Structure 1
Amino acid sequence: MSKTVMLMNKIKKLLVMPKEEVLFRITERRLEKREYKHHLSGKDQLSDEDFIRKCCGLSSQNNAIHRLFDNFYSGKRDSFFTEGYEKNIRTTVIKKHLNTQDWLLTADQICEGQLCLLGQDVRLAQAGEWHKDPLEACEWPRTFYKQVSKIKPSVTVDIKYVWEMNRHQYLIVLGKAYWISGDEKYAKKVCAIISSWISDNPYHSGVNWTSSLELAVRSISWIWAYFFCRGSQHMDAAFHFIFLKSIYEQGLHMEQHLSYYSSPYNHLIGEAAGLHMIGSLFSQLKLGQAWEKLAWSILENNIDKQFFDDGMCVEQATFYHHFTLGFYLQAALLRKLNNKPVSEKILSGIEKALNVSMYLTQPNGKLPAIGDIDNARSLYFNMEHSWDFRGFLSLGAVLFNRSDFKRQSSGSYEELLWLCDETMLTNFETMDSTYPLETSKALSSSGYYVMRSAWEKDSHYLCFDCGVMAAGLHEDGVPSAAHGHADALSFELSVFGKPILVESGFNTYFGPLEWHRHFREEAAHNTIKMGKSRQAEYCGRLTWKSVIHPKLHYWRQADNLETVCGEIVYDKEMSHRREILSVSSKFWVLLDQLKSAGRNEQAIAYFHFDASVNIEVDREKKQIIASAEGAGLLIQYFEDYEVEARRGVEGMGPEAGWQAAGYGHKNPTWVLSFVIPLTKKTVLFPLLLLPWKKNKLIFSSKKETRLDTKRNEFYPATFSFDEQNYMVSFRENDSPSVLCDGVPV
């Protein structure tokens, strides 16, 4: 992108910026200039004496470091989660439910310097290496933090990797290993890593001060590790002093650089959660109480801005939904542990967000990969990347006495065991376990519509996306960053519990541009690309403008038929209307109506399959058969479209067929595309989606389906399925009609 275009985009944003945001940004720039001046002169480096006297309110005489240490252990402060109940009792419960040997094996690997970060095996940073990129032989400049982004050490380097190394979430794994085993080597490693980092990262120097969210996540990691290792011989007064001083400096930076406007969603909430934890647990800091109060007010005043009324995160990204939700859960539970009030506003927001998590979860226990992802987790107890967030539901079960949350948590215990006290754990174990009240669910504010056959592991599941791309985006030419994708009218589908049609996920923020764009644009989703029209215009990494949001026509539920219909209108002539019917929770009927005023362009319909799925294309029968471990999906189409099936191969580009399981990681998978000529004003593109099991297709066609070109309707598709006879008709500007054994469904 040229400098001229970038300048014009900035001017467009400035012209629509609220006055209070302009004033805030001006004040922020003045602060940064003052910080830079102090950094050059060395005035921003806090001496030990000033920290003790000015920040902790103690005299620097008479062994102040030991008095500070004693005050922490004997003075008044909030309890932490590890102190929620007697350690021996908790240990017994943990060993009953969790495999603690895995903790020790992973912790041993960390002690040996072996890590897996963002899907990459890397070496743990050593002393003096905390500014180095763990993948490339380059180092980020050790300059004033605001200048770092201007001096990128190489063209291909991705800042996410050095940030991930410096988040220090793997310290929690070491802390758990010490807590469960008592082996001092784990606590020693925790102290060595933190001490090394402090020595290598002076206040406001380098890449690890560039993002307040990174400081927040690191602070939370340190606090968990500190309390896990509390009582270790290595957690002495000298270590406590440098630890507390660095925690103070990071808290001070967060307070002064909260992302009120630059990143007002998960960044702001993560920063507030980190500041809240520092303030509540380290009361010997003179700013501690003020930080706790400020942070909690941010969390409370912004929860309505983080979630739609139905509970879905406004960023329209399932991983970030849980990133934000985890910060809220952690802060609320910490207050409850210390008998501090948590408002109904906060609790209601958390419960609704958990409700969304429950309904979006697929039968295999994982979330659909909607929107961006950077593998970020706010509740971090193991290093394995996963789309399984059912542990959040176990917390929700005890917070809200929700027996349906308990059932759908499916025995996910770890979050519960660390974040809840003994009473809450007892309540969970004695609570009933019941099915959710609704099988299917309309999340109408965020625009997700879930159809499922039942709440069992082998149930069918479909999630249809008819919501806005994300909050904060503009329909005009004003650019704005967001984690939402161009995925309107896309859907995910599982049959007999197996994911078949899936979202492609997301691969990289700062890596190769073609991969970054691909996973965010239409071709990476189960939707249709309409000629030259686009759901949004790309205008830089993470940034969209001229966004076109879909609209819902209807969501209907009857005894044997569920229907959802949405449309995206590009202009007066071009539109895409998609309707999906779930027939008796057995199979699905899909009808796309493509309007183009006969522009003689092409539409391309994309279908992305899970990496575990294999497909066969039978062009003679007009069928695609997808199979996955003894179950699968038959896709019946009706016209002689140009059909292409592609699967990614190492060295091929993003269009070949890839599924991004997590940040920086992708697997080859099948992608199917139908090329649909837009040669008349309205083109119908109907499909039957028929599940099968145990290598037996329970489908047979009775009569060839034909298109009446004059009336623009298909004669009935007549077929047998699951020992019943069906007839499905498709016609322009109407819903598909379905007869079962001659009776309307």
Structure 2
Amino acid sequence: MQGDRQNPRHFWSIEDKEFIVSSCKKDWPNEINEVIQRADLACENTFIYTHRWDMERCETPVTFDKQIDWTYRLNGDFEWTVMLNRARYMSELGQAYWLTNNEKYAAGYIKLLNDWIAQNPLTEEEVTSSDKNQYNVKDTWRKLDSGIRIVNWLKGYSCIRQSSLWGEKLEKLFQEAVILHGYYLNIAFTPHDAQSNWGFLETNGLLQIALLYPELKESKEWLQTAINRMTKMADLQIFGDGMHNEQCSMYHHEVLNCLFESVLLMDRNNIQYPRSLKEKLSQMFTASLAFIKPNGHQPMLSDSDDTDIRDIMCHGAVLLHWGDLKTIAYPTLNYDGIWYFGKDGVEQYNSMETQVPLFTSHYLENSGYAIMRSDWSKDANYLLFDGGHMDLIRAHGHDDFLHIDLSAYGREFLIDSGRYTYMETADRQYFKESFQHNTLIVDGVSISSYKDSWTWEKTAKPVNSYWTTHPSYDYIQCGHNGYWKLEKPVMVLRQILFVKPDIWILIDTCDSDGKHVYEQHFHFAENVPVEIEADKGIVNTDINEGPNLKMIALTQCDIKQRKCQIARHYNQKSDSNKVIFKQTKEGFTKFVTILFPYQKLADQNLDVTEIDVKDSYGRTITPNLVTALEIKRQEKTDIILFSHQGPGSFQFAETHLSGEIILIKREEGKTEKAFIVKV
């Protein structure tokens, strides 16, 4: 047994054990069961990846009866190999040891440590000669995985080193392995890493090595190198709106977590670092707050899974003392938060007052995501719109321009289809192209051109973006140049007006000299049955109890239902339904669609009428130039005008107003309110 390394301070130490164990047992028994289950499997050389933040999940257990093959690929998927070598199970073996006081978990940690080190040596020559491969030496020594691995080793070590099984020989072996990881991570950093999530995952490992082993002769240099890299990467990778530049909610949170761990450890050990690091981290938490869904999950943007991010919100609430993050987090500090923050963090969280965020709807201007929501409750009406460019390195991005997600009254209706796999298969292309997103397709051509799993060509760019928000409405518009590549180019524009709290008007306009086939695609969450009344232009979800969604197509189109697949997690996919609205037309074409969620069948009645519009001279304006709607229910009437020719002066609905987008709200017995949404 080795003496405690109290200076410097890691996330947890032996003094925290009693409180951590008792608090986790009281508040998070299910999480404890999951940790112990995976730790039990690891003790038997059986591996499964079911943690919520396992980047590439796999629920199929794999057992090595004899020696572990650290290069094994399940079903040919290299992502299984890298998950094995990232070694989250080492951290969980340490936690299981503290939670149970069972020495078998210490023995399991030691066995796997010895096995990995013995089978995976690394020489200086191997490292220096791998520069042409971006310093990814071999399957078990990639820089990304090495950064993640050493962090997991260190977390497990903080618990296991208290065991009587841990002696001087093991301490020396472990320190040698730590030094080797530090040496490798210090060298294996390239300009591309500075622009990629890889850089953060690598550098978090280097920083923790340097900080926790100050006695090493290289530590001072490594620590400063890590801080410098973090600072540079934060400026390069994190937009001013707080979103990570890969435009992907999952990797946004992977980067956020690395920055969180590094900042937390530096604060805890009184290490000076640029103020900009915590400012960037704060911006990332703000972006997460903006796009979190009412159910507490992240939207499946690009290569993302359906992950509950309320644990992330807990961490931010404690670190930054933000009560608005607690509003949408767990009522008690999450399982990992107890380990990170200990008794002081739990007491701080319990005494923290929740605060309603300063914004409800929000626009992430640099990344192009607009989030419209009615309120901050779990039953809020929520729509996310993607009007942003492809991710900067063209790797994790999907061809999802103009995509929308929609949830209402506690139920998901329209969702992203997910990612499913990174293997170069038909599934990879299926989930990445435009056809599997809730967007507009022209002539059966994806908006950008898919080349392979990690490469796009003719990448579309956003045009004509505009956002505004008001207590009574939100409005977003964006187009793209993806269909300028056609022989007869098409200018596409999607406009969405949210008449709060529960009606969205979605208008797609397509301007072209040629004849084209236009399709709107809408993907529904699993187990959401769909009923089509084609003659009325109505699509209704058909759920017997609880909320439903009505879609009303006000332009004549063919409506068809198709099967599709949804992948909420890596290696998992299930069948669902999609609906396609289709027009074949020459010249200017538009789709006008009402999205109306309702809680009860009695609430679904909505009277929608297209109304005439005249110019200031009294001349009737054609529907190609303007769309005007009157939406009635009970005593309330909403009148909406969209001009397709820019701003103008319009006579309609017994009023005369000027602008490009106009909203009038009328309620029986009350004063009329008129809003110029866009001049």
State the TM-score, normalized to the length of structure 1: 0.78
Question: 1:231: Cα distance to partner?
Answer: 0.8
Is 1:103 the equivalent of 2:35?
Answer: yes
Change (3 A) 1:736 1:616: farther
What amino acid is the match of 1:397? A
The one of 552, 559, 576 equivalent to 1:669 is 576
Match of 1:548 in 2: 460
Where do 5+ consecutive residues of structure 2 fail to align?
Answer: 50-56, 127-136, 614-619, 647-659
Is 1:249 the equivalent of 2:161?
Answer: no
The one of 283, 289, 296 equivalent to 1:365 is 296
* CA deviation vs aligned residue, 1:285-318 (integer Å, no higher than 9, x gap): 3323322221121112221112100100011000
Question: 1:533: Cα distance to partner?
Answer: 5.9
Q: Is the 8 A contact 1:336 1:342 kept in 2?
A: no
Q: Distance in 2 between matches of 1:101 and 1:300?
A: 38
Change (3 A) 1:705 1:644: farther
Q: Distance in 1 between matches of 2:623 and 2:195?
A: 52
Q: Distance in 2 between matches of 1:220 and 1:591?
A: 48
The one of 405, 413, 419 equivalent to 2:334 is 413
Is 1:326 the equivalent of 2:326?
Answer: no
* SS of residue matched to 2:117: helix
Match of 2:421 in 1: 508
Match of 1:658 in 2: 565
Question: 1:700: Cα distance to partner?
Answer: 3.7
The one of 349, 366, 369 equivalent to 2:280 is 349
Match of 2:361 in 1: 440
Match of 2:111 in 1: 192
Question: 1:360: Cα distance to partner?
Answer: 0.6
* CA deviation vs aligned residue, 1:659-692 (integer Å, no higher than 9, x gap): 1112222121112222221312x11100000111
Is 1:456 the equivalent of 2:362?
Answer: no
Q: Distance in 2 between matches of 1:683 and 1:452?
A: 29
1:249-648 mapped onto 2 (5 Å cutoff):
249-261=180-192, 264-373=195-304, 387-411=307-331, 412-472=333-393, 481-512=394-425, 514-531=426-443, 534-569=446-481, 570-571=483-484, 573-597=489-513, 599-627=514-542, 630-647=546-563
Q: Is the 8 A contact 2:424 2:452 kept in 1?
A: no
Q: Is the 8 A contact 2:468 2:475 kept in 1?
A: yes
Change (3 A) 1:673 1:193: same
* SS of residue matched to 1:467: coil
Match of 1:176 in 2: 95
What amino acid is the match of 1:603? Y
Q: Is the 8 A contact 2:47 2:84 kept in 1?
A: no
What amino acid is the match of 1:491? I
Is 1:689 the equivalent of 2:588?
Answer: no
* CA deviation vs aligned residue, 1:669-727 (integer Å, no higher than 9, x gap): 112222221312x1110000011113444224365889999542687554533653444
Q: Is the 8 A contact 1:84 1:422 kept in 2?
A: no
The one of 44, 47, 71 equivalent to 1:115 is 47
The one of 158, 166, 178 equivalent to 2:77 is 158
What amino acid is the match of 1:122? P
What amino acid is the match of 2:382? Y
Q: Is the 8 A contact 1:316 1:446 kept in 2?
A: yes
Change (3 A) 1:233 1:124: farther
Question: 1:440: Cα distance to partner?
Answer: 0.9
Q: Is the 8 A contact 1:470 1:484 kept in 2?
A: yes
Q: Is the 8 A contact 1:313 1:320 kept in 2?
A: yes
Is 1:220 the equivalent of 2:140?
Answer: no
* SS of residue matched to 1:429: helix
Q: Distance in 2 between matches of 1:627 and 1:706?
A: 33
Q: Distance in 1 between matches of 2:270 and 2:367?
A: 34
Q: Distance in 2 between matches of 1:661 and 1:435?
A: 29
* SS of residue matched to 1:519: helix
Q: Is the 8 A contact 1:466 1:552 kept in 2?
A: no
Match of 1:679 in 2: 586
Q: Distance in 2 between matches of 1:711 and 1:311?
A: 40
What amino acid is the match of 2:97? Y
Q: Distance in 1 between matches of 2:612 and 2:62?
A: 61
Q: Distance in 1 between matches of 2:73 and 2:337?
A: 33
Change (3 A) 1:172 1:659: same
* CA deviation vs aligned residue, 1:614-642 (integer Å, no higher than 9, x gap): 21111122111125562121000023422
Change (3 A) 1:590 1:185: same
Question: 1:251: Cα distance to partner?
Answer: 2.3
Question: 1:468: Cα distance to partner?
Answer: 1.6
Change (3 A) 1:173 1:627: farther
More strand by share: 2
Where do 5+ consecutive residues of structure 1 fail to align?
Answer: 1-68, 137-156, 376-385, 473-480, 648-656
* CA deviation vs aligned residue, 1:225-283 (integer Å, no higher than 9, x gap): 11122211222222222222222222222222114325732101111111111121123
Q: Distance in 2 between matches of 1:130 and 1:253?
A: 22
Match of 1:83 in 2: 13
Q: Distance in 1 between matches of 2:627 and 2:4?
A: 82
Q: Distance in 1 between matches of 2:261 and 2:578?
A: 39
Q: Is the 8 A contact 2:412 2:525 kept in 1?
A: yes
Q: Is the 8 A contact 1:275 1:295 kept in 2?
A: yes
* CA deviation vs aligned residue, 1:464-508 (integer Å, no higher than 9, x gap): 111121224xxxxxxxx4222211111111111211111111122
Change (3 A) 1:418 1:396: same
Q: Distance in 2 between matches of 1:602 and 1:266?
A: 39
1:106-145 mapped onto 2 (5 Å cutoff):
106-117=38-49, 118-125=57-64, 128-136=67-75
* SS of residue matched to 2:432: coil
Change (3 A) 1:731 1:533: farther
Q: Is the 8 A contact 1:311 1:354 kept in 2?
A: yes
Change (3 A) 1:604 1:87: same
* SS of residue matched to 2:284: helix
Match of 2:650 in 1: none
State the TM-score, normalized to the length of structure 2: 0.86
* SS of residue matched to 2:435: helix
Q: Distance in 1 between matches of 2:557 and 2:479?
A: 23
Q: Distance in 1 between matches of 2:142 and 2:363?
A: 37
* SS of residue matched to 2:243: coil
CA-atom RMSD, angstroms?
Answer: 2.7
Indicate the percent of aligned positions where both proteins have the same amino acid. Answer: 25
Q: Is the 8 A contact 1:684 1:732 kept in 2?
A: no
Q: Is the 8 A contact 2:45 2:68 kept in 1?
A: no
Structure 1, 693-702 or 561-570: larger mean CA deviation: 693-702
Q: Distance in 2 between matches of 1:709 and 1:644?
A: 32
Q: Distance in 2 between matches of 1:729 and 1:281?
A: 62
Q: Distance in 1 between matches of 2:9 and 2:638?
A: 63
* SS of residue matched to 2:579: strand
Q: Distance in 1 between matches of 2:534 and 2:188?
A: 59
Change (3 A) 1:132 1:248: same
Q: Is the 8 A contact 2:13 2:159 kept in 1?
A: no
* CA deviation vs aligned residue, 1:62-88 (integer Å, no higher than 9, x gap): xxxxxxx96xx4778422111285322
